[in-house]
Amino acid sequence: MNQSPFSANHLANPRKRAIDLFENPLSWMEISQDRSDVELEIGSGKGLFLQTSSLQRPDVFFIGIELAAKFANRAADRLHRHNCMNVCMLRGDAKKFLQETVPDRTLLRVHCYFPDPWWRNKHKKRRVLNEQTLSDIERTLRSGGEFHFWTDVLDYYEHIGVETMKQTQLLGPYYVPQKQASHPMDYTTHFERRARINHQAVYRAIFVKQ
């Protein structure tokens, strides 16, 4: 019988490479380890959010999923180097993962920061946030759970706000004030850091499930 990549001591030994769901599909139980408080980040990039949040909130289990293998493995290596014990970094399709793997009413929060807006019509099907994904975010959130969405593209911010209100019963968007950075890496993601260093606006919203 094939052994799951999640051994009993997995959380004491963070992996240096992301678990590739294309090569090794896993069940929700294998990934979440039956944790009660779980948060999902869609499109984890280099892993700055996961690093910061997991160290600040050790009682929460974080799952990150990133389509690009290069960035998924870079994020996993970052989490390994910083000894982040309460994170699972996945390489995979977030849309498929939400739709097929994540059960109803299991997530405390879903985070999606600076997703590619894919403005050209022929590329819009690549958007990670579409009608199905927004519906699955609502389905997988617990009562009182939150969907966090940040972007530096105003048109995309307005589009996702309208689509979320149209496609779901989530309350919001609620305004999120900008937090002043206390050190050079005190940002939600590397994209936010770059935008704010270049004096570009960042648009933030939180939606809440009743």
Show which residues are catalytic.
116
Q: Dihedral (C-alpha) 6, 10, 11, 16: value to the nearest 10 degrees?
A: -100
DSSP string covering 155-175: HHHHHHHHHHHHH---EEEEE
**H helix intervals, the chain:** 28-32, 48-56, 69-81, 94-100, 131-140, 154-167, 190-197
Can you read off the two tokens belonging to residue 149? 């969405």
Q: Are 160 and 207 in contact (CB under 8 A)?
A: no
Angle made by CA atoms 71, 74, 75, in degrees to the nearest 5: 85
CA separation for the pair 49, 202 (Å, rounded): 16
Q: How far apart are CA 206 and CA 17, in angstroms?
A: 31
Can you tell me the distance from the alpha carbon of 17 to that of 72, in angstroms, rounded to the nearest whole number?
8
